[in-house]
Amino acid sequence: MESAIYFFVGTSALMFMIMMFDVQQRRRVNKILKNTRDVQPLFLLRSTEEKLRQLNTILYGNMPTGINGVPSGRVTMNEGARQLMASQLGKLVSDYNARQVSLKFYNNKLGEMLQMVNQIKQMNFEQI
């Protein structure tokens, strides 16, 4: 009977320590979640940066070298289409910087613009 009392007291003490540890961990996790609430998703941000870099390279040619040292710059395309896409890109970037659009919307629009630029650069405008 005496061992049952020791077992009960020991088990109660162990449960109390586990509960205190659990409360402490919940506080830490809630503090971390509170601090990171407005942090942008890292992979979405990286994807957006890559799309913006590709668009700038295609439209403005401000990257001196490409993959494996192959020169890459402005792509041959109709100058009117280039100016239209550049103005749309400038407006989109300024809207994002002014926090008028979300990161997800910004990423989607950059993807659409990149597809459009890739379609435009494959067209032959001398035939028009």
Cβ-based neighbours of 109, under 8 Å, separated by 6 or more: 92, 101
pLDDT of residue 128: 44
The total number of structural domains in the chain stands at: 2
Range of the domain at 28: 1-39
pLDDT > 90? residue 12: yes
Q: What is the pTM of this model?
A: 0.61
Task: Give the integer Cα–Cα distance in Å for 128 and 124.
Answer: 8
Does residue 20 sit in the same domain as residue 59?
Answer: no
Collapsed DSSP state (helix, strand, coil) of residue 5? helix
The CA angle 91-93-45, to the nearest 5 degrees, is 155
Does residue 6 sit in the same domain as residue 58?
Answer: no
Does residue 58 sit in the same domain as residue 106?
Answer: yes
CA Rg value for the chain: 28
pLDDT of residue 67: 52
Does residue 48 sit in the same domain as residue 16?
Answer: no
Does residue 77 sit in the same domain as residue 100?
Answer: yes
Rounded mean pLDDT, 39-67: 80
